[in-house]
């Protein structure tokens, strides 16, 4: 009988850990589903709120964690159209012969895309290489054409993305040794994906 009482606290602790794990997993799944719906249907108020959340909270956390863990993240360093400051925004990209295609998943009015529209010259970190790029805003048809006649990523179609940036490297012999760490700016916390 005494053996049962000594294992009871350990069992209760294991049950609590299992419950917390299930709750965290459920919340993560729910948030992921919500984000998918927001990106797919683009309700203006929810998109604006989500963009703010990413720009002010999640992007800085993601950039910091990526840097600490050595995760190779693609980051666009763009100049603010009003402030003139450099901002860093982590983005997903598809590499094509002409450069890199970046989908504007949160719509054509995201800050990073508007900044690139105003000042096309930017820096881009990808696979540990930072290079100067020239950005051109392109539409869905052009993005598909450049990606070989199809969506470069399944999210392009499932999220109905309409606006993209084509980042063309200015020097194909990009500067080696300029790492993600050295390229990060003090203003990274302001980037909005």
pLDDT in tens, 15-49: 999 998 888 888 878 777 777 777 777 788 887 88
Band (pLDDT 50/70/90 cuts) for residue 118 is very high
pLDDT in tens, 144-172: 999 998 888 888 888 889 999 999 999 86
Q: Which CATH number fits domain 42-190: 3.40.50.720, 3.40.1260.10, 2.30.110.10, 3.40.920.10?
A: 2.30.110.10
Which residues does 87 contact at the CB level (< 8 Å), separation at least 6?
A: 77, 78, 79, 80, 111, 112, 115, 185, 187, 188, 190, 191
pLDDT in tens, 67-105: 777 777 899 999 999 999 999 999 989 999 999 999 998
**Predicted pLDDT of residue 182:** 39
> What single string gives the DSSP state of each residue in 90-116?
E---EEETTEEEEE-TT-TT-HHHHHH
Q: How many CB atoms lie within 10 A of CB 110?
A: 23
- pLDDT over 70 at 185, yes or no: no
> What single string gives the DSSP state of each residue in 62-77?
HHHHHHHHT----EEE
Look at residues 51, 4, 29 and name the one whose alpha carbon lies nearest to residue 191.
51
């Amino acid at each position: 009988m005494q053996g049962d009482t000594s294992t009871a606290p350990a069992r209760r602790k294991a049950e609590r850990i299992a419950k917390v794990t299930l709750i965290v997993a459920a919340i993560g799944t729910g948030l992921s589903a919500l984000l998918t719906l927001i990106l797919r249907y683009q309700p203006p108020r929810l998109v604006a709120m989500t963009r703010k959340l990413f720009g002010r909270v999640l992007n800085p956390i993601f950039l910091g964690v990526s840097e600490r863990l050595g995760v190779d993240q693609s980051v666009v360093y763009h100049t603010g159209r009003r402030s003139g400051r450099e901002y860093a925004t982590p983005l997903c990209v598809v590499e094509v012969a002409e450069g890199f295609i970046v989908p504007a998943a949160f719509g054509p009015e995201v800050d990073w895309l508007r900044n690139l529209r105003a000042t096309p010259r930017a820096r881009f970190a990808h696979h540990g290489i930072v290079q100067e790029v020239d950005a051109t805003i392109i539409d869905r048809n052009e993005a598909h054409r450049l990606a070989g006649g199809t969506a470069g990523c399944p999210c392009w179609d499932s999220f109905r993305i309409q606006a993209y940036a084509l980042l063309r490297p200015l020097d194909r012999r990009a500067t080696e040794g300029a790492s993600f760490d050295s390229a990060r700016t003090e203003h990274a916390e302001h980037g909005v994906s």
